[in-house]
Every structure is written in C-alpha cells, then in structure tokens.
Chain A
C-alpha cells in the first residue's frame, strides 16, 4: 500500500498502517466498505462545512470538520485529518475567517486521497 507524499510537506500525507489495521479488524471487505463510505461522505462534509461557515453557523462547521477529521484519521488520510482539525479548532474558537481557503485545500487534498484509496482498494480486490 504505497503512500504519497505531498511536495514540500514535512509530515506524511498518509499512514498506510491504518489500512492494514482495518484489514485486521474486518478483512478486505471492511476496508472496501470503509473506503466507499469515506468517498461518499467526505465531499458532503466539506460542502456542509462550507455552507455552515458561509451562513455563520459555527457549530455546524465544527461538526462537519470534526466528522471529516475522525473518518480521515481512521483511514490514514493524515494530511486531511490535520487540515480538518485546524478548521475544527478555528470554528470552535468562533474564527470562521480562513475557512474558505481551508475548504479549498480540503477539496484539493480529497482529490489526492481519493486517488490513493481507489488504488489501494483496487489492489486489495485483485
């Protein structure tokens, strides 16, 4: 399970050990289902965070980013986890400025994570 490294990033973008862990918990079936749920929910959570902060809904933004953080961490999408956590902390502190840029970064990161998880899933299914 190859990881990818974001250019210039000091910390790893992914933790492939998280995927091995999911396989230990429930085999390739669980891993495939967790990936499918993540790929379905992550865009909705990013969109929900964007809608929430646009409307000044601090609690809504915090909840959406918290859920994204939790799911990213369980799948080893570490950079996405860190970005979500930054946004969650800002929202909790009532600081919604900066969140538009952060959700843009999350969408860009999701593109990379999607590619990574699909490659992992396809290898696992082979």
Chain B
C-alpha cells in the first residue's frame, strides 16, 4: 500500500488525519523534524504531509533539508498549515512544497485530491 508520512506535533491534528486517511494509505507519523528526517531516510514514504509550525525545526527547514538530500529530494511534500495569509500559497510553492493545504480541514476531498495528484505525478516521474 502507498505510504504517507505525517509530520505534525499536535495529537488532535494527527488523529484527524488518521480518520480521513486510514484505510486508504499506510501512515507513519512523526512529531518533530529530527525524528521525521531520520525516519524518512530510513524508510522512504511515497508522500509527506508536513506541518509548518513545529517546535524546534519548523516545516520550512525540514523541507529545505529534504530538497538538499539526494535520497529524499524528489519526495512529494504537501504543506499543512493554519497560517492562511494572503500570498502564503505562492510563498510555500516557491519554497519547494508541491502543494499547500490549509487547516482547519473543512473539505477532505481537497486534501485527498492533492495527495492523489502528487502521487500520480511522482509515479509518472519514477516510471
């Protein structure tokens, strides 16, 4: 089954993502950037959902490290953020995120569509 890594420090947000994604994908969860980078390197998922506001290393820094790591750099990474300011989407895409989903999650089909879009794109690149 396709594996999605969730990097999210808040237990309630992880629980919500489990409720939406469980049964559709295998899920692995990380609560901080250090554990996430070690885990992603040890076992490469098919896609990463990455929270931006994390204690210590934030989502932007984790993404920068993913994009400069030869083993990880082609991973599709979707930003999950409650920072919903005007211009944020462009900012995150310019930083190297593949997509950008805002919290709270109101319409789960937006998240599911983004995941499928980037999984298909990633499979196309690797085939």
Contacts and interface: CB of A to CB of B under 8 A. Distances in A.
Interface of A: 18, 21-22, 25-26, 30, 33-34, 37-38, 41, 63, 66-67, 69-71, 73-74
B19 A26 contact: yes
B74 interface: no
> Interface residues of A: mostly helix, strand, loop or mixed?
helix
Contacts of A67: 9-10, 53
Nearest to B54: A63
A25 B82 CA distance: 19
B19 A70 contact: no
Given A25-B20, A67-B53, A73 B103 contact: yes
Nearest to B107: A21
Contacts, number: 52
Interface string B24-46: 00000000000000000000000
Interface of B: 9-13, 15-16, 19-20, 53, 55, 82-83, 103-106, 108
Contacts of B9: 67
A50 B82 CA distance: 21
> Interface residues of B: mostly helix, strand, loop or mixed?
loop
B53 A66 contact: yes
Nearest to A66: B53
A34 B16 contact: yes
A74 B105 contact: yes
Given A34-B15, A63-B53, A66-B53, A41 B82 contact: no
Nearest to B85: A89
Given A25-B20, A63-B53, A63-B55, A30 B103 contact: no
B104 A25 contact: no
